[in-house]
């Protein structure tokens, strides 16, 4: 489970009046961002969030919203929630260098997605062959002000981890 220090909800969250639900993007081991082997994520330079060391190759939307960015390489997808919170799902470390090899994107930019909906599949063997880490991050890049504390545990894709 995740816990977070509750701060004032952002004006966008208040205006939307919706509860934000955030789910695990993939089955695996939930870990704190500070344990990710990339300083951009571990030092939260892109924003607050959490990570999952995957035991599956099927990634689902961690939130409901609109797919505002779908990288052509398939390694990253940005979703904007009804509350105006921007969420980045980033599959693996340095996976942009694969130029799409081993990734199959299941949605398009502009699509409305639902929490738990499949958004991308990836091939862990391809990542291993290139010595890349498959750790998958969920980063709140805009509009989320809470601090997240992760209690490591096994999760399934779609398990709700945060209600804010």
Domains of the chain, start order: 2-156 (2.70.70.10)
Rounded Cα distance between 45 and 39, Å, is 8
What pTM was estimated for this model as a whole? 0.89
**pLDDT higher than 90, residue 7:** no
Enclosing H/E stretch for 12: helix 11-16
Percent of the chain clearing pLDDT 90 (strictly above): 82
108 counts as catalytic:
no
| 113-124 tens-digit pLDDT | 999 999 999 999
Q: How many helices (H) and strands (E) does the chain have?
A: 3, 15
The residue length of the chain stands at: 164
pLDDT tens digits along 81-108: 999 999 999 999 999 999 999 999 999 9
Confidence of residue 15 (pLDDT cuts 50, 70, 90): very low
- The per-residue pLDDT for range 125-152, each reduced to its tens digit, is 999 999 999 999 999 999 888 888 899 9
Catalytic residue among 21, 58, 90, 108: 90
Can you tell me the mean pLDDT for 1-10? 42
């Amino acid at each position: 489970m995740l816990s977070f220090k509750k701060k004032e909800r952002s004006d966008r969250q208040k205006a939307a009046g919706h509860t934000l639900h955030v789910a695990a993007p993939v089955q695996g081991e939930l870990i704190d961002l500070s344990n990710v082997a990339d300083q951009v994520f571990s030092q939260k330079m892109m924003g607050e969030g959490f990570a999952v060391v995957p035991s599956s190759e099927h990634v689902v939307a961690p939130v409901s919203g609109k797919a505002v960015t779908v990288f052509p390489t398939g390694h990253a997808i940005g979703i904007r929630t009804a509350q105006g919170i921007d969420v980045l799902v980033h599959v693996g470390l340095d996976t942009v260098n694969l130029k799409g090899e081993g990734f199959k994107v299941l949605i398009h930019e502009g699509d409305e997605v639902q929490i738990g909906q499949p958004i991308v599949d990836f091939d862990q063997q391809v990542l291993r062959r290139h010595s890349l880490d498959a750790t998958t991050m969920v980063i709140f890049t805009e509009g989320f002000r809470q601090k997240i504390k992760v209690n490591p545990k096994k999760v399934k894709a779609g398990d709700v981890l945060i209600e804010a």
